[in-house]
Chains A and B, each alone.
Chain A
Amino acid sequence: MSRLEAKKPSICRSEPLTGERTRASLAALRGLVTSCYGPAGRLKQLHNGRGGSVVTTSQSAALLAGLPVSTPVLKVLTAAVRNHVACFSDGGLFTAILCCNLVENVQRLGLTPTTVIKLNKHLLSLCTSYLKSEVCACRIPVDFSSTQILLSLVRSILTSKPACMLIAKEVDHISTLILRAFLLTIPESAQEHIILGKSIIVPLKGQRVIDSAVLPGILIEVSEVQLMKILPIKKSDSFKVALFGVSLSGDLSDTGEGTLLVSYGVSLENAALDQLFNLGKQLVSDRVDLVLCQKVIHPSLKQFLRTHHVIAVDRIGVSLMEPLSKVTGAWPIGSLGSISPSSYGSIKDLCIAKFGCKHFFHLIPNKTTICSLLLCNRNDTAWDELKLTCQTALHALQLTIKDPYVLLGGGCTETHLVAYIRHKTRNEPESVLQDEGCSQTELQLITDAFCSALESLAGSLEHDGGEILTDSKYGHFWSVQADLPSAVNWPDLLSRCGCGLYSSQEELSWSFLRSARHPFPPQTCLSREATGSASTLTLDCFTAKLSGLQVAVETASLILDLSCVIEDTN
């Protein structure tokens, strides 16, 4: 029974940002994402009171996917962050925090949206053009001849996700595996366009993290029952593979839309089975060693193949089809009648491997860009988090190939940018004022709001009540523990800056990040020696962070531009 309910009129709220509810929820969201940020970030547990699975995470992808949001402004914000994460995997929290900070800071000023948006856009273009320029001192070109930078990038991503629950040794192990898995996906002979392969993550829960491994080729899980039926694999240099995309179950395939009249005694099922046997005979006569089928293989056909020493594996699923086709070089067969010999593929070796309590067929290819990353972690939630992190790291590595730069992490990029912007707008404001038609005061106010948004973003890396300092030469980020003695010798207390590039033993002068400072020009043009000397750096993915910065400012502008929210409550 359907009940008719009168349609409710839409709710129209003007000035959505000034409302108490929006403000409170924006502050709540900011608090939430800020507390997750960085290696020392706090974990969040998402669970439904009625039961079900529990998610422990500090990643924006998992957090925002499970977070119910009702305020329209927050919906826009979280949607923007989730879309960013879907594109780049990394930098979700960065985007979310920056966007919240910007909205809150600018909203406090009470300037007209037009001015705010124009100036924010201008400051953003200052940042992006600086980050893309050669003189940028927070960007390092990637040296692909050594693994140092790439390994640092992976390590930084792993350590910034505390919910993976890894100890230092495990971080080392996993980052090496990720890098190795990534390198295996790069084709050996590079043409004009590099087509990267794929690393397939194979779950193995309940094992020690240290048991994780990378294997070239593909692992297909088989049950123990299946395994018993498979005869010992004979030794050979190469195995011929047939890969089927169609079902070999003997079901009557599509017979069209008309009516089928079958005489008594005629069995179409037998006819179909006969066809399958013919197919089997052809496979045997073509000396195929391994038959893989996406769907189901008829038990009789399986039996037939087995008696002829052909290994048959079915129910592989659509997701493995493309990698399998790549690994074996076989073309997915869509016909039961005639098989062209050119659609067979081959592999170098085939073996049965046991990892943990699971059995796998391991297809070892001759030469390919597909590899399997066997990922272990102690429990389900930690495994989920680790899997997400591995995907993020692999994606970041791919993006780095496209745009071979990395940004300094650990808050140094942000504080350096702040120093750059403050200096730039203080010393060369004329160009802005002319182009945008606003006053010096307005520019100063917006610059302060923008810079403090970036500064508090960097500041949110610190969760244990420590103080944050910045030096007046490089504009980097330095953190120091709480409860300082009154007379301090800074170089002794601080060891290295956030990204690990500079040591405190240089002749530097520091000041508190939140204190008023005189704008100074941060040193540009990073020297080669500096990047070479530091052993472990904290690094961020360049593409993801740059896009995150743009998305954050654009979304903040979008939110600040809202003058009315019309909500359909039906």
Chain B
Amino acid sequence: MVACVSSHLRKTGDGAKTFIIFLCHLLRGLREITGKEKDFFPFENIQTCGRHWKNCCQWKFISQALLTFQTQILDYVMDHYLSRHFLSIFSSGTKERTLCRGSLEMLLGAYFCGRVGRNNHNLISQLMCDYVFKCTACESSFEEVLELVDDCFVELKVGVTGLPVSDSRIVAGLVLQRDFSVHCPADGDIRIVIVTETIQPLFSVSGSEVILNSEAQFQTSQFWITERTKAIVKHLQNQNVKLLLSTVKQPDLVIYFAGLNGISVVECLSPEELSLIQRVIGLVPFVLPEASSQYELSHTALVKFCKPLILRSKRYVHLGLMSTCSFTPHCIVLCGPVQGLVEQHEDALHGAFKMLRQVFKDLDLNYVTQTSDQSCTSGPRIYKNSRESNELPKIVNSSIQRSYQDTVVKNEGELAKTQTNLKVCSNLIVPSVKLEKNVLCSTPKVAVTDSYQTDETLRCSSPNKGRIMDDHEPFIENNSANSKTENTRKEISYENLQVTKLARKDSILPLRYKSLEMCTSQSYYFSSIPAGCVLPVGGNFEILLHYYLLNYAKKCQQSEQTMVSRIIANALLGVPKILYKSKKGNYSFPQVYVRALQALQTNQPMISNQTGLESVAGKYQLLASVLQCLTNILTVDLVISIKRQPQEVYDQDSEEEL
């Protein structure tokens, strides 16, 4: 769980707490169901594996249903129902999208509220807002800028301890966290070069042999080295270079000559700093020429200024880079009385950039709708009929929860029983079901630029998966060619189905063919959550999704999907419940919930009493990550704890002694 949360956080920068709350509620929901089932099916006839085995089958079944939900229903509900409630942080009206500062402030305000201490969160939020606008040269390049800031955040911030937080500020240009090795003040535009090796030639290169036959030889070579170094530095000076940025430590000789020639030197740049500078000004490192004759120096760039910056009596190098990309370089100086607080603010800001980066991306949604009323993807067909018959009347019932659980429990029991009775090894079934799903969902996913989900599904597939995917290659390519142009929702007929079928026949899945036949009537939809979609904070997203999932569940005819939808819908409410925990009276959770439901039923806008916005894409990804985590947890049937091997220090010692 912790690994899942961390990886989600690394990617999106948001939602760690919600992740755990939501996962917790989902697990509780599932436990309730499985707990109920004990009373229904005692299962005394299973001799060897017993209850544990039965539970595993059940959980696996649920996890498969969850996967189906995540890949199909979730996108469908988002696209069909939720999308009408979305707000945008871009101001509408003009044809070009322009970022609305007020909206961004609300988005960031809500983000920092939970991450930065109460007395600072307004300040940090404002700082970040200013930073985003200062760094972006034009409106259309937010995405590019945010990507760069997220990647290079460590190089773009300077932490200073001992000053009040209110002294935090933004400085124009780039601050390198080291001092000059040599500083020669210079005015006007300053020409710079980057070097990645020592300018002074080495006496001998690694792996080579230098044979010295006389003292004079040694002295001559030393003399040559000095002269050559002098010549290169002199040449740099002739080209008007005033600043040398070096990724390595330069010898004393270079520093001496550079100082004499009025060239400032900054040494030991980290690879990250180098790559940032290269990204911003597009400057390639200077390659030392082989011959000592005249050579052209093409790789130089200009900076506006280059001066020491003193923060808390420590000197930094401050460069006024002239950007060649859409990012106008600025650095954030974060002050705080203690190191921990500065770090907290740094992390919060970094997370906020990750979050914004997600907000400024379109998020693709793909799903399948069946024109026939039968599903082709999950659950063995055998159980379908019995379930459909006893499900419909009960759903109309208003005391929904209990009754639907009963239904599901029964069905699951049946499933487990049949599966064990059939003596189908679970190991065989798991990959098979997954396999099919992978195939099915990876097909439309081809158009998705962000291959996150595809990766996930690939990872959990069985070894023979690779081969199968290979078989699909021509098909995938075909399809991607078709769908690449799709931006808005468009139906794609499934012409290539034949290919898939053929390919599938290679795989080891005799059980699944039947359901495949029914796929002919499927339609694939491609849609997206457009960049900048937001909803008001305070559980709005959760209540909306809860409402529409329940609605969907009512309409849905397959019981396992109904069940899963309900579990998820109910678990979603856990988040707003916690949010409104401390509120009383009119703002307590039941009141808010009832008001929201009423508004939704009568098609009126939901009224939120809270200021602040949150990203829809972030919430969607959070939900997807939680469901994937849950699927992973549920498919594990046994945890084997391995003790760490003690080090055999004694043995080694005794051997050496002998």
Contact = CB atoms under 8 A, between A and B. Distances in A.
Interface of A: 1-2, 4, 76, 79-80, 83-88, 113-114, 117-118, 120-121, 245-246, 253-263, 266-268, 270-271, 274-275, 331-338, 340, 342-343, 547, 550-551, 554-555, 557-558, 561
Interface string B127-170: 00000000000000000000000000000000001111110000
Given A4-B647, A113-B118, A554-B337, 7 more contacts: A4-B644, A87-B163, A245-B255, A255-B210, A258-B206, A260-B212, A266-B213
Contact of B164 (A331, A334, A337, A550): A550
Nearest to A551: B337
A133 to B, nearest CB: 17
A2 B215 contact: no
A370 B207 CA distance: 49
24 contacts: A1-B650, A79-B337, A79-B340, A83-B162, A117-B119, A258-B205, A258-B206, A258-B207, A259-B209, A260-B204, A260-B212, A266-B218, A268-B212, A268-B218, A271-B218, A274-B215, A331-B259, A331-B260, A332-B259, A334-B252, A340-B260, A554-B120, A554-B164, A554-B337
B338 A83 contact: yes
Contacts of B256: 245, 331-335, 343
Nearest to B259: A331
A79 B212 contact: no
Contacts of B203: 254-256, 258
Contacts of B219: 271, 274-275
Contact of A334 (B163, B255, B644, B650): B255
Contacts of B255: 245, 334
Q: How large is the interface on B (under 10, 10 to 19, 20 to 34, 35 or more residues)?
A: 35 or more
Contacts of B202: 254, 256-258
B226 interface: yes
Given A86-B312, A263-B214, A267-B215, A557 B204 contact: no
B244 to A, nearest CB: 14
Contacts of B226: 335-338
A117 B118 contact: yes
Contacts of B591: none
B465 interface: no
Contact of B117 (A85, A253, A558): A558
B162 A554 contact: no
Residue from the set A2, A85, A255 with the largest chain B CB neighbour count within 10 Å: A255
- Chain B binding surface SS class: mixed
B205 A257 contact: yes
Contacts of B118: 113-114, 117-118, 557, 561
Contacts of B257: 334-335
A335 B259 CA distance: 12
Contacts of A257: 202, 204-207
A76 B340 contact: yes
A561 B116 CA distance: 11
Contacts of B204: 255-260
Contacts of A84: 162, 337
Contacts of B119: 117-118, 120-121, 554, 557-558, 561
A154 to B, nearest CB: 20
Nearest to B229: A335
B161 A83 contact: yes
Contacts of B211: 261, 263
A87 B342 CA distance: 15
A205 B210 CA distance: 54
A259 B164 contact: no
A1 to B, nearest CB: 5
Contact of B210 (A76, A260, A550): A260
Given A261-B210, A266-B213, A256 B205 contact: yes
Interface string B214-228: 111011001100110
A342 B260 contact: yes
Interface string B305-347: 0000000110000000000000000000000111111000000
Interface in B347-372: none
Nearest to A395: B313
A263 B213 CA distance: 5
A19 B208 CA distance: 68
A262 B212 contact: yes
Contact of A87 (B213, B312, B649): B312
Contacts of A270: 215
Interface in B89-139: 117-120
Contacts of A550: 164, 166
Contacts of A343: 256, 260
A262 B214 CA distance: 8
A297 B256 CA distance: 19
Nearest to B340: A76
A118 B122 CA distance: 11
A291 B249 CA distance: 27
B253 interface: yes
A546 to B, nearest CB: 9
A270 B254 CA distance: 25
Residue from the set B252, B313, B339 with the largest chain A CB neighbour count within 10 Å: B252
Contact of B341 (A87, A254, A558): A558
Nearest to A125: B166
The 3 A-B residue pairs with the shortest CB-CB distance, nearest first, are A258-B204, A334-B256, A83-B162
B646 interface: yes
B251 interface: yes
A343 B230 CA distance: 14
A47 B398 CA distance: 76
A266 B164 contact: no
Residue from the set A117, A118, A337 with the largest chain B CB neighbour count within 10 Å: A337
Nearest to B307: A193
B339 A554 contact: no
A113 B206 CA distance: 63
A438 to B, nearest CB: 13
A245 B252 CA distance: 8
A145 to B, nearest CB: 28
A263 B216 CA distance: 12
Nearest to A89: B313
A258 B213 contact: no
B168 to A, nearest CB: 12
Nearest to B161: A83
Nearest to A99: B337
B20 to A, nearest CB: 15
